[in-house]
Each structure stands twice: as structure tokens, then as C-alpha cells.
Amino acid sequence: MKTEALKKLLESMTLAEKIGQLVQWNYAALAMTDAEVTGPETLQLSADAMKYFGSVLNFSSADEMIRLQKQYLAGQEHPVPLLFMMDVIHGYRTAFPIPLAQAGSFDPDLVKECARAASAEAAAGGVHLTFTPMVDHVRDPRWGRVMESCGEDPYLSGIMGAAQVEGFRGKDLTDKGTLAVCVKHYAGYGAPEGGRDYNQAELSEHVLREWYLPAYKACLDAGADMIMPSFNSLNGLPSVANPWLMNQVLRDEWRFEGAVISDYNALDELITQGVAENRQHAAVQAMNCGCDIDMVSGCYASDLEKAVREGLISEDQINTAAMRVLKVKNDLGLFEDPFRGASADPETVNRLAREHRPLAEKAAIASAVLLKNTGVLPFDKAAKRIAVIGPFADSREIVGAWCCNCDTRETVTVAEGIRTLLPDAEVTVVTGCSARIGDTDGSMIGEAAHAAENADCVILCVGEEMECSGEGRSRASISLPGMQAELVRRVAGANPNTAVVLFGGRPLDLTPVEKIAPAMLEMWMPGTEGGTAAAKLLFGDAEPCGKLAMSFPKSAGQLPLFYARSNTGRPKQAPEDEYQPYCSNYMDCGNLPLYSFGHGLTYTEFRYDELRSEKTELRAGEDLNVTVRLTNTGKRTGTETVQLYINDKFSSVVTPVQKLAAFGRITLAPGESSEISLTVSHERMKLWNFAGQSVIEPGAFEISAGYADHLLLTQTFTVS
């Protein structure tokens, strides 16, 4: 529909119809089904108040969508199609690795491909818009939602978030296999105090501008259609009622013209948070902060019309908001085709899911991170007796906490992956103890150790259950739950040819495991083909190449912990494991993480030979071209993610000691040397100064290759 026609449609609508566009209901509330509900159940309004609405979330099939769409359109005087939304976070039917894992591939093209595949499946399943990407900046793995994020570096998050936006949206939203996207959770949701979900975040403007806001902006620049303010209060105000965030930054500075949707029931929660006296007050505040859609609280449905009549909200505000919603519908081509490629035949999604399995395997391989290897990996494929031990040895519950319509029965387990890869080997599976928090039953450990003793190699699959990460899943301790640490101790003690394979949605405290495990492979929640990927990696049919998008602490007491820290006036000079009085360090723990952001081994070795920058003197605003020469000094072909870090030597504000500036991947055969060229954008040289500007300050900078806290080659350049 042309914009003029859209305007005419809006003009023809009554106030109640326009407000209806701003109301979103849960499918379950409308259809009285048991479809997934991702928040507290909200009040049921009268049939009158429920008459008009504009969008729906949490339905489970194309069939449901088609039925409701038909029913709704048939009952309306101005039939405006409903917009169907869902959390397609890391897959729809096919589960790809969780976003935190995918970010560690450092491969935006792959991330885009996974999003593309997920959108094709979801669109066939009747979804129009996904609540993705989630690019909350995260520094504390006690917060269970780190699994949905792209990790602790805003530059990487921005790139991965933008790749998701491009993957989901495709070239043109009128293409039926695409989805519109909603970036979330704006802003600071990743910094809840104590890592406890929904908790307040207190962040200075400086920290917000440098670390927390850029990734959302990158996703909006990539074309995101919608943005979701976060649940948490930020510096004293919940985001949906925070005029600085919503009006000043989002609308005035960033000029975002797309739609804003509240998070689940967030308007009503303004009352619980103590900043709204009642539902009308909540609705008025959110409307005044440019929140276009009220997700399920019903505050707009029950109170907005009255607020207009009382002059608290103008009809112009309603028009602007309704128009934004209509625009998303129009961009999706819903006026021409309200069913938009939804296929009531489940075979369509099944067929797509079958086609996407190789991609799921590729992504799981690329996202896995080899944390440690004393040389036991890769295992010899001639192994005759293989013990696969632990709660995740034969588990299908490795797809990840937020893969909406995937069928875990289709997941390949680690034991299955190994049996397929090595059909002649004798594979013994001992599921060992459970991964449940608080479980004290270690009765299977003896059997597990016995199986390990009698095996040529042992694959010990431990970690966290899927339900341990995701929304509302904060932990105070991030060590291996239950008796698993003891399981590792006994099994690794029984057979030194043991690799620990880790599953879960967050960086864990692996200090006790690292001391005894000869090798550790982090698979995260790898998705549908996780077992195939693990088997291939463990037996050398695939090369590990993933890097950490989030640091693993030595202890939860170090949290929040991140690589891009600022220097103190009293930095620690002593070795990591020594305490230095009157310096910034702990008496009982080192400062550094166990594994830093950017860490990840391969089955070969890379020597960094040379780092050359094209220029040593730049004018502010110029980019810097850098070349890094590497040699594969090992015996296998491998892929290295070359990372460049920047440090501003002297500036008007304290800057981080290292900040990711560019990255790229290079594959080299044994003995091969080659160069990779990377561009450090001038944007990476900027800082947020105390006058509230983003500027490049003249002076010396360092550029280094390596990874966080392990910088190998450094060069200096100056900016005038």
C-alpha cells in the first residue's frame, strides 16, 4: 500500500481502532490455549476492551495464525491485519547455537546465514516479526540472559546484531521468507545489579555511551524495524518510562522512526516499580516516552482512550504511534497478503528444517571453543572403546533455552554423533550424575569412573541444564551444578585420555575443572546438530576455531569481569597469582579471567610474525589499514581469528587498556605463511568525552594483535 493510502486508512479509523493497533495480546489469552506464556499472566479485560488489537505473540503454528487472522479480519469494519510476533532467537524449528556461541564464531556471514534460515522457517510458521537481536552488553554471567547476547564487546555485538538484522530481514520485507526484527532490550538490561534478572542498573552516561548503547544503534542502522525498552530501571527510571533514553537519545539523537514495543507486561510493572500510581498513569508515561505497542499489560487497552478524553494524551500522539505500527504491517506486505507465506502444511517447515541441518552443524562447529588441550585432542579415530559419560552424554536437551518451535526429539546427542562417525567403535554411555542445581546424588560416579578406566578415550559431557540460562535464570554461584565437579575429578583421574565437553548458556567458573581436565571443549548450547559437531571436533574431522565472546572468570567473586577494563592509578604489577599490597587486586584471587574474551585454541599453532600499519600518522577521521603476517607452525590446517586491539595512550578521560578494533579469519595449511589485511575504522578511535561528545582526540595510540590480555605484536600510531 502506498503511504498516501496508509494515511487515508488511518484517518478513517476511530480512536478505539487506532488505540487497538497499539495493543498486543498473548495468543493464549485470546484463544484460551496453553501456548507458551513468557511472563506473568495478565488480567483479562472485558470483551469490549479486547475488541481491537493490533498484534499477537506466542502462538505456536501457522495454522493458529491463519485461523486467528481470518477470524479477526472478518469481524472488523476497517480490516487491518494483525501482526504476529515471536521470539525466534536462535532458530525456529532447527536450533542453531545460542547467540553467545554464534558470536564466538567471529563470522558475521555465518550468523547472517543462520538468521536467514531461521526466518524462512519462522515465516512459513506464520511469524511476521521476531524479538531479535538481543544485543545487551554483558559483563556478568550470573545473569542467565547472557546466553541470548553477543557477549561483552559492543563492537562485536554490533556486528553480530547487524548480521542478524540483515539475515532475518533479507533484501526486502515483502519477500515471504523474511521477518521484521525488534532489537532489544534498550538499555542496560545486561547490567542488573548482582546479576539478578530484572534488577536495577545504575550506569553513568559515559559508560552507557561507550559500552551499552552502541550495539543497539548498530542494529537500528542495519534496518531494525522495532526496538524494545528493557524491564529494568536505568538510573532510577524504568526504560519504558525514561524520557532521556526513549525521547532524547532514541528519537531526537538517533532519529529512529520505527516502532517501540514495551517488554512483557512492563507497563503494569511500572506500578510495582513504584513510578506509576495506577494503570492510566503507566499508560500515559509510556505513551509520552514514545512506546507504540503495549505488550500484554492491557494498560493501553483499558486506559488510553480515557487519557485522550481527559487531555493527558493527544490524539496526534495516538496517530503517530498507530502509523508506526501500520507502517511495519505495510512494509511486510500484510495489507496485500495477511497470511504472508504462512504454510498451514507442517511439511513446509519440516522440509526447510531438513535442508538447514548442514548449516546447523557448520554453525555448531564454528561456535565451539577449545578452551584447553594438553594434547589429548583430537582423539584417535582408531579408538576401539569410547566412554561417553555425564549428564549430557546422550541428552537431547542441548538445543538452547530459546529455540521456539524446535522439537528436541530431532537433536543429535553426543553419543549418537560418535556412533555415526565411528560405527565400528564400542561406545559405552554412562549418564553419570545429574546437572541439576543442588543435586547431591553421586551414586553413579563409581560406574562412570569404571567405564573411563576401561576406555581408550573418554568424553565427559558436563555443564548446565537448558533451564539454567535464559530469562529469570540468575545464579549466585556459576560453578558446575550438582556433583559434576566430583564426576570430573574421578573420571579424569581414572583415565588421562579424557576431554571435558561443556554445555550451557553462560561462562562457568571452571577453575576446579581446569586443574584436572586434560582438555576442555566448550560446546555451549549447540543446537539440533550439536552431537554431530561435537563428535567431528573431538575426533578431528572438524577443526575448532571459535573464540570466546565472553570471559570465563576464575571465581564468581571477580564479577562483573570484562577484558576492556580501565586502568587504575594503582595497577597490579606482580604476577597474576601473587598479591600486591596497595594495588588494585584481590588477596585471594588473580585479576584476570581464567579464559579471556577472544581466547580459543585450534589443533594447530599460529605464529604471529609481523604487524604492519600502512601509516604511522593519521589525520582524525582517517581509517588505519593494518596487515598481520602469520605462519601455521603446526601439523594441521587451521583457521585463526586475528584480532586487533586499540589503546588510546593519553586522553581527556580514562579509556580501556584494550578495546577490540577489528577482526578477520584466515585459514592456513601446515607451514603456510600469509597476511591478513584489516581496517581499523576511525570510529574505533573515538571516545565519549566529558563535554558529552564522541570525539577522536589527537595523540598516540597503540594497535596490537593477539587476544585480550595476550597481545603479541604492537605498533604505535599518532592521530593529529
Q: Cβ contacts of residue 188 below 8 Å, gap of 6+?
A: 136, 201, 203, 208, 212, 230, 232, 234, 239
For the chain, how big is the Rg over CA atoms in Å? 26
Q: Using an 8 Å Cβ cutoff, are 501 and 459 in contact?
A: yes
Instruction: Give the cell for residue 475.
Output: 545464579
State which residue, 467 or 486, has the beta carbon closest to ligand NOJ.
467
State which residue, 263 or 303, has the beta carbon closest to ligand NOJ.
263
* Distance of alpha carbon 317 from alpha carbon 311, whole angstroms: 11
Q: Using an 8 Å Cβ cutoff, are 181 and 130 in contact?
A: yes
Torsion of CA 40, 262, 162, 156, to 10 degrees: -70
Which residue from 496, 545, 498, 523 is spatially nearest to 413, judged by alpha carbons?
Answer: 523
State which residue, 168 or 707, has the beta carbon closest to ligand NOJ.
168
State in angstroms the smallest separation of the CB of 78 from ligand NOJ: 27
Which residue from 489, 542, 519 is spatially nearest to 375, judged by alpha carbons?
Answer: 519
Q: Using an 8 Å Cβ cutoff, are 129 and 84 in contact?
A: yes
- Listed in sequence order, the DSSP H helices in 607-651 are none
DSSP letter at 553? P
State in angstroms the smallest separation of the CB of 486 from ligand NOJ: 35
Local structure of 229: helix, strand or coil: strand
Residue 44, strand partner residues: none
Helix (H) or strand (E) run with residue 26 in it: strand 23-26
State in angstroms the smallest separation of the CB of 130 from ligand NOJ: 9
State which residue, 224 or 369, has the beta carbon closest to ligand NOJ.
224
Local structure of 134: helix, strand or coil: strand
- For cell 526484527, name the residue: 181
Which residue from 483, 488, 480 is spatially nearest to 441, judged by alpha carbons?
Answer: 483
State in angstroms the smallest separation of the CB of 152 from ligand NOJ: 19
State which residue, 472 or 557, has the beta carbon closest to ligand NOJ.
472
Give the Cα-Cα-Cα angle 435, 147, 151 (nearest 5 degrees): 135
State in angstroms the smallest separation of the CB of 226 from ligand NOJ: 11
The binding site for ligand NOJ (CB under 6 A) comprises 38-39, 57, 87, 131, 184, 263-264, 471
State which residue, 258 or 553, has the beta carbon closest to ligand NOJ.
258
Q: Which phi and psi angles does 489 have, rounded to 5°?
A: -60, -45
State which residue, 10 or 215, has the beta carbon closest to ligand NOJ.
215
Q: Using an 8 Å Cβ cutoff, are 271 and 302 in contact?
A: no
**Exactly one of 87, 136, 263, 303 is catalytic; which is it?**
263
State which residue, 241 or 711, has the beta carbon closest to ligand NOJ.
241
State which residue, 52 or 231, has the beta carbon closest to ligand NOJ.
231
State in angstroms the smallest separation of the CB of 119 from ligand NOJ: 16
Q: Using an 8 Å Cβ cutoff, are 644 and 678 in contact?
A: yes
State in angstroms the smallest separation of the CB of 168 from ligand NOJ: 14
State in angstroms the smallest separation of the CB of 184 from ligand NOJ: 5
Largest CA distance in the chain: 79
Q: Cβ contacts of residue 169 below 8 Å, gap of 6+?
A: 119, 178, 179, 180, 181, 223, 225
Long-range contacts at 424-429 (CB < 8 A, ≥ 24 apart): 425/383, 425/384, 425/385, 425/386, 426/384, 426/385, 426/386, 427/386, 427/388, 428/385, 428/386, 428/387, 428/388, 428/454, 428/455, 429/387, 429/388, 429/389, 429/393, 429/394
Instruction: Give the cell for residue 40.
Output: 506473568
* Distance of alpha carbon 116 from alpha carbon 163, whole angstroms: 10
* Distance of alpha carbon 615 from alpha carbon 625, whole angstroms: 8
- Listed in sequence order, the DSSP H helices in 383-529 are 414-421, 445-453, 484-494, 511-516
577 has catalytic annotation = no
- For cell 524494545, name the residue: 228
Torsion of CA 115, 121, 126, 127, to 10 degrees: -10
* Distance of alpha carbon 452 from alpha carbon 598, whole angstroms: 32
Helix (H) or strand (E) run with residue 366 in it: helix 346-367
Residue 660, strand partner residues: 645
User: From residue 467, how far is each of 164, 360, 401, 475 by CA, in Å?
Assistant: 24, 21, 6, 12
User: What residue number has its CB nearest to ligand NOJ?
Assistant: 131
State which residue, 9 or 23, has the beta carbon closest to ligand NOJ.
23
Q: Using an 8 Å Cβ cutoff, are 497 and 454 in contact?
A: no
* Distance of alpha carbon 78 from alpha carbon 452, whole angstroms: 68
State in angstroms the smallest separation of the CB of 442 from ligand NOJ: 36
Instruction: Give the cell for residue 456.
Output: 581408550
State which residue, 129 or 559, has the beta carbon closest to ligand NOJ.
129
Q: Please, what is the end-to-end C-alpha distance for the chain in angstroms? A: 51
- Listed in sequence order, the DSSP H helices in 274-345 are 279-288, 299-309, 315-331
Local structure of 498: helix, strand or coil: strand
State in angstroms the smallest separation of the CB of 100 from ligand NOJ: 15
Active site residues: 263
